[in-house]
C-alpha cells in the first residue's frame, strides 16, 4: 500500500505519519495564477517560507511533495504572452522550492511542465476525468507518469484491471481516490470543477461557497441512499484493489484538520475502521452545506444530513463482488436497487434505519446561488 495524502501544511501532520505507508503529499497555495481543485476559502493560508520549510520537512521524512496545478479552466489566458511568461516563472519558482512534481488536469499545463522539466513527475489529475483506456493512452502520449482516475471508475473492476495492466506495461503508475463523496454520475461535477478552479485563481471574482455542493446535497437529501452509490473506497476494501495490482490510494484531505487526516491515514493503513464511514469521507453534503444554509438563513432541511450514520462494520464482506459481475454504466440504478439493499443494511438517520425514512423531496434552490457572492446575503 502506498498512500498519497493532501497536506494542510501543519508540520505536526508530517511528524505524525512516519509509521504509515505515506509516499507522497500534495498541496498548493491558497490562490494561484492558474487556480486549482479546491476552493481557496477552505484552504490554509501559508507564506512562501512556510511552504518551503514544509517541503523540506517532507523530504527529511523520506516522502515526496506534488504541487497541485489542476485547474479545469484557464479562461482563455493561454493566448496571452504575459500569462505564458507568468506560468513559466511560477513553475520555475516552485521547482526551486523543491517540489518533486505536479498534479495537472489541462494538457496545456502538462506540456509547459514536460517541455522544461522532462524529469519531473506529472500526475494527470482526477479533474482530467480519465475514465477510458483511450484517454489513458492520450495522457501517456502527453508525458504524464501517473493517472489519477475519475472516481466514477472505482467500482468498474474489469476496467480497473485492464487499465492497471496497461500503465504497468508502459512504466506508468495509477492512483484511485478513496474518500471523495461525489454523486455517481454527477451532473454537477464539471461545473463544480470549474467553480473550484475559479475560486482559487488570484484574479477572479470572489465568492465564498461552491454552489454545486448545494445542488449535490439536494440530491442526497431527496434520497440519502445516493451516498452508497458514490464511488468511495472503504479501508477494508483496499485489498480488492491490491489484488488486481492497484496499491496507490489517494486521500483528498487537504481541507481537513490534522486529527481528521491522521485518523483516516490510520484507518486505511490498518485496512479497518469501526464507526461511521462518513467520519473518513469528505462528505460536504452533511458538513459544509448545512453551515452555509445557516449563514444565509437558507432551508433547514439539510441539517438532517448531519444525522446520517453509515455503520462501517455492517457491510457484507464481499459486497463489492456485485460490481465485478455487473456493469453500472449500462444499467439503470432505478431498476437495479443493489445499493439500496446495502443502504438498508448499513445506514440510519437519527438512529432510524434508512428504510423507515419517509419520502422527502425538494427542488434545487437555484435562487440561492447569488447569496454566495462576497457581500451578498439572503434577506
- Examine residue 194 and state whether it is found in any structural domain, yes or no: yes
Q: What is the pLDDT of residue 375?
A: 58
pLDDT attached to residue 40: 75
pLDDT at 234: 98
Per-residue pLDDT 10s for the chain (379 aa) are: 999 999 999 999 999 998 999 999 999 998 888 888 777 777 888 999 999 999 999 999 999 999 999 999 999 999 999 999 999 999 999 999 999 999 999 999 999 999 999 999 999 999 999 999 999 999 999 999 999 999 999 999 999 999 999 999 999 999 999 999 999 999 999 999 999 988 888 876 688 899 999 999 999 999 999 999 999 999 999 999 999 999 999 999 898 999 999 999 999 999 999 999 999 999 999 999 999 999 999 999 999 999 999 999 999 999 999 999 999 999 999 999 999 999 999 999 999 999 999 888 999 999 999 999 875 544 3
The predicted structure's pLDDT at residue 377: 42
Domain range spanning residue 245? 2-290
The dihedral over CA atoms of 110, 112, 114, 118, expressed in degrees to the nearest 10, equals -160
d(CA 177, CA 4): 9
> How many other C-beta atoms lie within 10 A of the C-beta of residue 118?
8
**Residue 211 within any structural domain of the chain:** yes
Contact 153, 160 (CB under 8 A): yes
Task: Decide if 131 is inside a domain.
Answer: yes
* pLDDT in the model for residue 201: 83
Please state, in angstroms and rounded to a whole number, the distance separating the CA atoms of residues 117 and 69.
Answer: 15
Whether 334 is covered by a domain: the verdict is no
For residue 376, being part of any structural domain is answered with no
pLDDT at 38: 79
pLDDT of the residue at 378: 40
Provide the CATH number for the domain around residue 81: 3.20.20.70
Does a structural domain hold residue 320?
no
Instruction: Count the residues in the chain.
Output: 379
In a domain, 38, yes or no: yes
Give the C-alpha separation, 67 to 94, whole Å.
8
Q: β-strands 308-310, 347-349: how paired?
A: antiparallel
Cβ atoms of residues 289 and 205 within 8 Å: no
pLDDT of residue 37: 75
Number of domains in the chain: 1
Looking at the DSSP assignment, which residues form a beta bridge with residue 26? 6, 66
Report if residue 78 sits inside a domain: yes
Amino acid at each position: 500500500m502506498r498512500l498519497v495524502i493532501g497536506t494542510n501544511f501543519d508540520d505536526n501532520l508530517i511528524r505524525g505519519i512516519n509509521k504509515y505507508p505515506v509516499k507522497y503529499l500534495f498541496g498548493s497555495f491558497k490562490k494561484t495564477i492558474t487556480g486549482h481543485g479546491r476552493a481557496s476559502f477552505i484552504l490554509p493560508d501559508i507564506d512562501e517560507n512556510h511552504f518551503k520549510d514544509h517541503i523540506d520537512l517532507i523530504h527529511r521524512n523520506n516522502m515526496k511533495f506534488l504541487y497541485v496545478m489542476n485547474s479545469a479552466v484557464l479562461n482563455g489566458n493561454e493566448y496571452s504572452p504575459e500569462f505564458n511568461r507568468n506560468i513559466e516563472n511560477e513553475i520555475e519558482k516552485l521547482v526551486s522550492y523543491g517540489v518533486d512534481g505536479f498534479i495537472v488536469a489541462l494538457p496545456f499545463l502538462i506540456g509547459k511542465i514536460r517541455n522544461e522539466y522532462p524529469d519531473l513527475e506529472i500526475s494527470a489529475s482526477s479533474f482530467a476525468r480519465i475514465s477510458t483506456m483511450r484517454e489513458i493512452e492520450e495522457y501517456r502520449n502527453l508525458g504524464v507518469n501517473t493517472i489519477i482516475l475519475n472516481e466514477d471508475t472505482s467500482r468498474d473492476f474489469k476496467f480497473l484491471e485492464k487499465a492497471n495492466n496497461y500503465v504497468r506495461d508502459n512504466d506508468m503508475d495509477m492512483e484511485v481516490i478513496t474518500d471523495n463523496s461525489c454523486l455517481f454520475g454527477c451532473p454537477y461535477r464539471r461545473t463544480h470543477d470549474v467553480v473550484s478552479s475559479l475560486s482559487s485563481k488570484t484574479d477572479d471574482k470572489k465568492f465564498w461557497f461552491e454552489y454545486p455542493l448545494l445542488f449535490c446535497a439536494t440530491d442526497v437529501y431527496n434520497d440519502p441512499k445516493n451516498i452508497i452509490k458514490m464511488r468511495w473506497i472503504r479501508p477494508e476494501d483496499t485489498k480488492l484493489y491490491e489484488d488486481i495490482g492497484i496499491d496507490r490510494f489517494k486521500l483528498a484531505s487537504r481541507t481537513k484538520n490534522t486529527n481528521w487526516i491522521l485518523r483516516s491515514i490510520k484507518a486505511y493503513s490498518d485496512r479497518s475502521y469501526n464507526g461511521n464511514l462518513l467520519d473518513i469521507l469528505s462528505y460536504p453534503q452533511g458538513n459544509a452545506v448545512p453551515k452555509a444554509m445557516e449563514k444565509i438563513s437558507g432551508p433547514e432541511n439539510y441539517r438532517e444530513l448531519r444525522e446520517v450514520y453509515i455503520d462501517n462494520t455492517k457491510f457484507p464482506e464481499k459486497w463489492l463482488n456485485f460490481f465485478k459481475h455487473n456493469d453500472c454504466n449500462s444499467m439503470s440504478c432505478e431498476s437495479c436497487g443493489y445499493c439500496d439493499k446495502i443502504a438498508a443494511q448499513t445506514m440510519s438517520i437519527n438512529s432510524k434505519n434508512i428504510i423507515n425514512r419517509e419520502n422527502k423531496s425538494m427542488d434545487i434552490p437555484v435562487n440561492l446561488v447569488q447569496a454566495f457572492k462576497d457581500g451578498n446575503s439572503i434577506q
